[in-house]
Amino acid sequence: MGAVSFKDVTLRYAGTGRRRRRRAARGGAEVAIAATESAGAQSASAAERPALAGLNLEIADGEFLVLVGPSGSGKSTALRILAGLEQPTSGAVLIDGDDITGVDPAERDVAMVFQTYALYPHKTVEQNMSFALQLAKVPREEISRRVRRAAEQLGLTELLDRRPRQLSGGQRQRVAMGRAIVREPTVFLMDEPLSNLDARLRVQTRAQIAELQNRLGTTTVYVTHDQSEAMTLGDRVAVLDEGVLHQVAPPRELYDRPADIFVAEFIGSPAMNLLTITDDEFDGLVRGGSSGDVRADDVVFGVRPEHLAITADDAGLLLHIDHVEEFGAEAYAHGHLVDSAHTERVITRLRTDARPALGDTVRVVADPERVHTFDRATGQRMEANVAVSASAV
């Protein structure tokens, strides 16, 4: 069993603002503390913001849950609280219904895989994997059985006598995972374990982690800043920013139905186009559709690049091409709308081998069934506000 619960967990670091002010004042530059009243207010606000704010999250037994967000979002903080390396200011953490908030890390039955591998350089692969079991005084025969089985699962059998310096980055990461696996914990915790690998090795190791978790069936909480990694690994993905949980859902739901503007921008590559346009512009962008029962001034319309297409007819909005990105199998055109209320960059995926040239002006239309609407004031998703005529579907 390995069900995990975060119950209204908050972590606020004491004296954060005071430390920041001291750092700013080094070198005698008092002006750096508060160049303006506005900057001072922003600094105070950041200092008062908790690292994690009222996190409520349920993780099922055997689930692979990914915590994702930008730097400073609170994802690693949540993992460290679960591991017992940080104590929350308030709230509780439970494993299988037992409150472990004040339990010593060594007694929590969790195993952590770190970004930096943290292998003992003078020990062999086998000795690194078995060390924690030796400290726990597990019988020698049982240690050997667990290490051999984990080595077989991870493709490390031929490397057991080698030392870390003789291994590649991917092999070292597998040793770090093996060290966690042999402990047979209730919960695996992985803190950005692929960050130090090159792109090709990252993809390969990512697939190995997914296959291994499927075989073991052990509850896994995985932290990453890479949304592509999160979407390919997780049974569910929890998106955090500035200590706040914005949405937790299966990957496809995050992509199809983002809960707010932050999730819409963060999930998907390239990011969703978020358009602040007029009612007339919307009518031109969405062929056969209208903004329905909402005013364009009150909403932000979201369209992913793959749901925005160049059209040869007179429909759509004019897009001036500023740049074309080639990825081999696909390409994306970046540009700006001509004579539009919307001034931010717009991206569309190119569907044919014909590529617009830099400086060209084309017309673009949106798939009427894939337009998202968000409240401009709150950033929250609005449901079923775009009306589409039957002829457009």
Q: What is the pLDDT of residue 22?
A: 33
Q: What is the pLDDT of residue 47?
A: 54
Instruction: Compute mean pLDDT per 10 residues along the chain, 393 residues long, and list them.
Output: 94 62 34 37 58 97 96 95 96 97 93 87 95 93 94 92 92 90 93 85 86 91 94 96 97 96 94 93 77 76 95 90 90 94 93 85 93 95 58 36
N-terminal to C-terminal alpha carbon distance within the chain: 47
Residues 241 and 289 grouped into a single domain: no
Residue 262 lies in a domain: no
Nearest of 278, 269, 276, 288 to residue 347 by alpha carbon: 269
Region of 254 please: left (phi>0), alpha (psi -120 to 50) or beta: alpha
Residues 159 and 214 grouped into a single domain: yes
Q: Residue 317's domain spans which residues?
A: 270-392
Distance between CA atoms of 164 and 172, rounded to whole angstroms?
A: 6
Residues 329 and 274 grouped into a single domain: yes
Residues 357 and 209 grouped into a single domain: no
- Asked if 3 and 61 count as a contact pair (C-beta separation under 8 A), the reply is yes
Residue 263 lies in a domain: no
Residue 187 lies in a domain: yes
Residues 323 and 247 grouped into a single domain: no
Residues 115 and 147 grouped into a single domain: yes
Q: What is the pLDDT of residue 42?
A: 46
Q: What is the pLDDT of residue 392?
A: 38
Please, what's the b/e burial string for 57-89 (b: 16 or more CB within 10 A of its CB; e: otherwise)? bebeebbbbbbbbeeebbbbbbbbbbbbebebe
For 346-391, write each residue's pLDDT tens digit: 999 998 777 888 999 999 999 988 999 999 999 999 975 454 433 3
Residue 48 lies in a domain: no
* Domain C-terminal end among 233, 256, 279: 256
Q: What is the identity of the amino acid at 52? A: L
For 232-257, write each residue's pLDDT tens digit: 999 999 999 999 999 999 999 999 99
For 284-316, write each residue's pLDDT tens digit: 898 665 555 677 888 999 999 999 999 988 888
Residues 174 and 274 grouped into a single domain: no
What domain count does the chain have?
A: 2
Residue 33 lies in a domain: no
Q: What is the pLDDT of residue 46?
A: 53
Residue 42 lies in a domain: no
Residues 125 and 175 grouped into a single domain: yes
How far from the centroid of its chain's Cα atoms is residue 266's Cα?
8
Q: What is the pLDDT of residue 341?
A: 83
Q: What is the pLDDT of residue 26?
A: 34
* Domain C-terminal end among 223, 256, 289: 256
Residues 227 and 372 grouped into a single domain: no
* Domain C-terminal end among 256, 285, 315: 256
- Which DSSP string do the residues of 271-330 spell out, in sequence order? PPEEE---HHHHHHHBTTEE-TTS-GGGEEEEE-GGGEEEESSS-SEEEEEEEEEE-SS-
Residue 25 lies in a domain: no
Q: Domain with 304 in it: what CATH number?
A: 2.40.50.140
Residues 218 and 322 grouped into a single domain: no
Residues 78 and 113 grouped into a single domain: yes
DSSP class of residue 3 equals -
Residue 51 lies in a domain: no
Residues 171 and 307 grouped into a single domain: no
Q: Domain with 247 in it: what CATH number?
A: 3.40.50.300
Nearest of 179, 67, 61 to residue 123 by alpha carbon: 179
